[in-house]
A and B are shown apart, each in its own frame.
Chain A
Amino acid sequence: DSGVTQTPKHLITATGQRVTLRCSPRSGDLSVYWYQQSLDQGLQFLIQYYNGEERAKGNILERFSAQQFPDLHSELNLSSLELGDSALYFCASSPRLAGDEQYFGPGTRLTVT
């Protein structure tokens, strides 16, 4: 158990809908990262927050947004969902800004129908 929790574990929704994925980092970790893992196994970095502030952006679509709250939990919002958004979404946390050792949650499997 990494200490990172993600909810929900599974999510099935329809195209055009909006969903929110939630992540609680390990106790004491200030950095939260969001990743998307597609069926072909590739891991795509989406965005990083550090102590409430956005610090780095990867290949995140404009339809996606995230935030980190004062208690350090984070939410990833996905809107106007398309079939291609079906994937595993992972949250990871680390104690520092430089995310060398990242601790991953179990992921949320999103299925868009």
Chain B
Amino acid sequence: AQSVAQPEDQVNVAEGNPLTVKCTYSVSGNPYLFWYVQYPNRGLQFLLKYITGDNLVKGSYGFEAEFNKSQTSFHLKKPSALVSDSALYFCAVRDVDSNYQLIWGAGTKLIIKP
């Protein structure tokens, strides 16, 4: 069965420092991977996706994610964190066994401190 894990409930980073939000996955076949962000009192917003090609995927708001097949990971990164990046981040993988639904991670709360 496909699955996705976000091992950290919360990540704290100082403003200006690089940030990483971790995601690991388990799928049969080629993974289709996604990151979404949820700002307070808002719906989720699509950030970026990996389907194929370059292992480094660039997305919205300066975020990027690195696909690592050998480690089955898809970590979200940003070189310099902003206070406004504070939000809830969800990793997701396409479930090829279930009509291509997205399987969602539990979410990681990112807190950027000034």
Contact = CB atoms under 8 A, between A and B. Distances in A.
Interface of A: 2, 4, 41-43, 45, 48, 55-56, 58, 90, 92, 97-107
Main secondary structure of the interface of B (DSSP, over half): strand
Interface of B: 32, 34, 36, 42-46, 49, 88, 90, 94, 98-102, 104, 106-107, 109
B46 A98 contact: no
B81 to A, nearest CB: 20
A41 B8 CA distance: 13
B102 A102 contact: yes
30 contacts: A2-B45, A4-B43, A41-B88, A41-B106, A41-B107, A41-B109, A43-B44, A43-B107, A45-B104, A56-B98, A56-B99, A56-B101, A58-B101, A92-B44, A99-B100, A99-B101, A100-B32, A100-B49, A100-B100, A101-B49, A102-B36, A102-B44, A102-B46, A102-B102, A104-B44, A104-B45, A105-B43, A106-B42, A106-B43, A107-B42
B99 A100 contact: no
